Each structure stands twice: as C-alpha cells, then as structure tokens.
Amino acid sequence: MSVKVYSTPTCPWCTVAKNYLKSRNVEFEDVDVSRNREAAVEMIQKSGQRGVPVIDINGNIIVGFDQAAIDSLIR
C-alpha cells in the first residue's frame, strides 16, 4: 500500500490524520507542502485543492480528514 499525506506543520487536521494512520499501523510518507514547492504543485494537481491535509492512498485522493474514506481504503 502506498500512502502519502500532504500536510503543513501548523495544520491541526493534518496531525489528526497522521495520528489516525499511525493508530491503524499504516506506514505513510509525510510531505510538508509548506517547505516543498514541487510537492505542493503535485498535491494541487492530484486534488484540485490548496488546503491540507490531502491524503493519497494508492492513487485515491482524500481531501481533509475523512475517517470513513480512510478506513475503506486501508482495509
């Protein structure tokens, strides 16, 4: 499974999403879009969104923290 979390250090929902993934023992790549312009552009291209978190699970994009959507994709 490939999981990437586009986030910023000051985003509270990013922290919630990452903590939730950790609680489910899901390994993920944490990408700080405030420091990585290329990743920010990639995130916008994938999601059409500028807000974080954006979670990419095997190419499926979740905008924001949506526990039900995350659960359906990590099973």
What is the residue-level pLDDT of the chain in tens, covering all 75 positions?
999 999 999 999 999 999 999 999 999 999 999 999 999 999 999 999 999 999 999 999 999 999 999 999 998
Res 16: pLDDT: 98
Closest CA to 33 of 55, 17, 16: 55
Domain regions of the chain by residue span: 3-74
Res 4: pLDDT: 98
Report the run of H or E that residue 67 belongs to, with start and end. helix 67-74
CATH topology of domain 3-74: Glutaredoxin (3.40.30)
Task: Classify burial at 62, counting beta carbons within 10 Å of its beta carbon; exposed 0-12, middle 13-18, buried 19 or more.
Answer: buried
Closest CA to 14 of 25, 68, 28, 44: 28
Res 39: pLDDT: 97
Contact 42, 32 (CB under 8 A): no
Res 75: pLDDT: 85
